[in-house]
């Protein structure tokens, strides 16, 4: 914006209002008085950024636009499950039944009439990667309880997120919408994060147990996914110095490590 009209009870107030809207200094503008005001009439001025100062403000405006683009990009990456997936797939829960509405390319046709259609997990993952301009190799492993999809590639840290939050959210989403004949849970792992995180949490749990046993005071972990809480529970289940307990409501449920004989003092 190169110019702005300002109004006020006085000319000076009108100028200040225009400068505020322009976010400009008085030294960088030209001022034209449109109306001096008077009884029951407001003063009006036209404030325009001067030609010699214009390049400075154009540069500031360009920088603001770049910052805005970066903010939008970060927001899309942090919330891609909401900003991208929901454009393609709508989930409506009714009691225990999940109705899936999706573009045809995402759906595996039902085998029998009346059978619920299923979203193809691998196609959905490929579309997500494409939307984020990422490339990854997808491998599928299946056992008696789980169908595991593993992603390997470059620049996948944003897809994992802080402490795996993004990956866990996407894994939960896939498990909800990508139904299979044997009702197995779909699990997503990116760059072997689950194994690495399990090792980190196991080591951390042992250090925390020693600290709790020595101090006699409890230790509260930050909220984490149920699978991560289970890792800590399992790591400490045979430690006779401490005991563990989960508290709170999802998704803010957390874990506490207590000494066996807890003394709050």
pLDDT at 101 over 50: no
pLDDT at 106 over 60: no
pLDDT score of 137: 94
251 prior amide bond cis, ω within 30: yes
pLDDT score of 108: 42
Contact 33, 45 (CB under 8 A): yes
Mean of per-residue pLDDT scores for the chain: 79
Contact 32, 46 (CB under 8 A): yes
CATH 3.30.300.20 residue ranges in the chain?
79-191
Segment 218-239 shows an average pLDDT of 91
CATH 3.30.300.20 fits 79-191, yes or no: yes
Where does 195-259 sit in CATH, by number? 3.30.1370.50
pLDDT score of 158: 84
Give the number of other CB atoms < 10 A from CB of residue 201: 22
Confidence band of 25 (pLDDT split at 50, 70, 90): confident
Give the number of other CB atoms < 10 A from CB of residue 233: 16
Residue whose token pair is 């214009």: 54
**119 vs 199, residue with greater confidence:** 199
Q: What share of the chain is helix, strand, coil (3-state, %, to 5)?
A: 45, 30, 30
Q: Under 8 Å CB-to-CB from 21, ≥6 apart: which residues?
A: 1, 4, 6
**257 vs 60, residue with greater confidence:** 257
pLDDT score of 70: 62
pLDDT score of 75: 55
CATH 3.30.1370.50 residue ranges in the chain?
195-259
Max mean pLDDT range (66-70, 75-79, 156-160)? 156-160
Contact 173, 85 (CB under 8 A): yes
Look up residue 10 and give its DSSP letter. S
pLDDT score of 18: 86
**82 vs 178, residue with greater confidence:** 178
Segment 98-125 shows an average pLDDT of 54
178 phi, psi to nearest 5 deg: -95, 75
pLDDT score of 252: 85
pLDDT, tens digit, for every residue of 70-91? 665 555 444 544 444 443 434 3
- Alpha-helical segments (H) within the chain: 11-22, 54-78, 80, 86-88, 121-131, 157-160, 165-177, 193-215, 226-236
pLDDT at 95 over 50: no
């Amino acid at each position: 914006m190169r110019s702005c009209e300002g109004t006020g009870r006085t000319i000076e107030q009108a100028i200040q209002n225009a400068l505020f809207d322009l976010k400009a200094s008085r030294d960088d503008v030209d001022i034209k008085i449109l109306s001096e005001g008077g009884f029951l009439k407001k003063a009006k001025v036209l404030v325009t950024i001067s030609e010699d100062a214009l390049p400075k403000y154009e540069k500031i405006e360009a920088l603001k636009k770049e910052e805005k683009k970066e903010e939008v990009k970060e927001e899309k990456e942090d919330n891609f499950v909401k900003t991208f997936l929901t454009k393609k797939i709508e989930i409506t829960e009714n009691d225990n039944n999940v109705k899936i509405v999706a573009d045809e390319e995402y759906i595996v046709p039902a085998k029998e009439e009346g059978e619920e259609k299923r979203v193809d997990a691998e196609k959905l993952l490929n579309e997500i990667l494409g939307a984020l301009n990422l490339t990854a190799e997808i491998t599928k492993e299946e056992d008696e309880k789980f169908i595991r999809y593993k992603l390997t590639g470059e620049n996948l840290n944003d897809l994992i997120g802080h402490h795996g939050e993004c990956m866990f959210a996407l894994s939960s989403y896939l498990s909800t919408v990508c139904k299979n004949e044997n009702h197995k849970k779909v699990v997503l792992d990116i760059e072997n994060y689950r194994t690495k995180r399990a090792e980190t949490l196991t080591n951390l749990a042992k250090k925390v147990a020693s600290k709790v046993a020595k101090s006699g005071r409890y230790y509260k972990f930050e909220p984490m996914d149920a699978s991560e809480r289970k890792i800590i529970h399992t790591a400490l289940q045979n430690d006779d110095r401490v005991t563990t307990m989960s508290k709170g409501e999802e998704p803010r449920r957390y874990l506490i490590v207590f000494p066996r004989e807890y003394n709050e003092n």
